[in-house]
Amino acid sequence: MDRHILLTVSDDFSSLQAVRFVAGFFATADYPQLTLLYVAPNPKAGLTEAEIIQDYGNLTRRETQTKSLAQTALDRAEELLVNKHFPRANIHKKITFKQLGTAKDIIQEGIAGIYDAIALGRRGLSRLEELINESVSKQIFTTPMEIPLWICRNNEKPAPSVLLCTDGSPASLRCADHVGFMLANAPEHEITLLHVDCGTSPAVPEDALAQARRMLEENGVAGRRIHQKIVKCTSITDTILNMTRDGAYGVLATGRTGRGESRTQHLLGSVSMNLLKQLESTTLWICH
């Protein structure tokens, strides 16, 4: 079962969060394939063809310098992975110049390369910064797409256990399918199915859990590795965050939208967006 992750890298410290997560989370011989992607500034951006021809020599030198910096960042990320026993043969490196904007270029590469997930780091931003800046991870997070997204925090030793939230919605079932596909042959990863019942969802808890369990088992996850919980609450977000912290889960997996939410609507107040903002050290796996 060949799994391939697109892992973004830049000069920003936060970009190595994804590298550290992958290096620490996959600790068996069943390693996925990785493509380390560096989206570099384009020296020719905004220039006319005449301006490019006129200043061709300087632009070529700047392009070479930019590629050198990008290669250094990619090599640093590769060595971090190899030092954690990740096979060098599973690591591929790619440099691309910015065309549409960093977020859109990452999405385009994710689609064109037929990857199984896009992994990127997530810095902790203050509320004011969140209002002012549209971070790359936030832009990608709010773009409806078929590829699962991993938002990684700075945790070099993530716990192997996974908390998989499910309410029976299509997005949550796609997430269960993704978790099953990625971890079927990794017995050290235990998976806990969680249904949070706040009395507002039409989902039958037992049915939602059964559907998610079936997705995992169809991917080859042994039943003994699957656990399940139903928790009644008044706040879905707070309950999930508390469960994540108390259970010391390395991954929180959920659908981007639950029952009653639109896949294309920009839901800044949705549960998944609130989890993105408030998770501290747990990596978030999201399926649209």
Q: What is the pLDDT of residue 96?
A: 93
Give 220-243 pLDDT, tens digit per residue. 999 999 999 999 888 889 999 999
269 strand-pairing partners? none
Give 232-236's long-range contacts (Cβ < 8 A, gap of 24+): 232/197, 232/198, 232/199, 233/196, 233/197, 233/198, 234/198, 235/198, 236/196, 236/198, 236/271
Domain 4-152: assigned CATH number: 3.40.50.620
Mean pLDDT of 91-120: 89
| pLDDT at position 128 over 50 | no
| pLDDT at position 139 over 70 | no
> Which homologous superfamily does the CATH classification assign to the domain defined by 162-287?
HUPs (3.40.50.620)
- Note whether 133 and 166 are within 8 A (CB): no
Q: What is the pLDDT of residue 222?
A: 96
Q: How far is CA 136 from the centre of its chain?
A: 12
Residue ranges covered by each domain of the chain: 4-152, 162-287
Do domains 4-152 and 162-287 share one topology? The answer is: yes
Mean pLDDT of 42-65: 71
Mean pLDDT of 261-275: 58
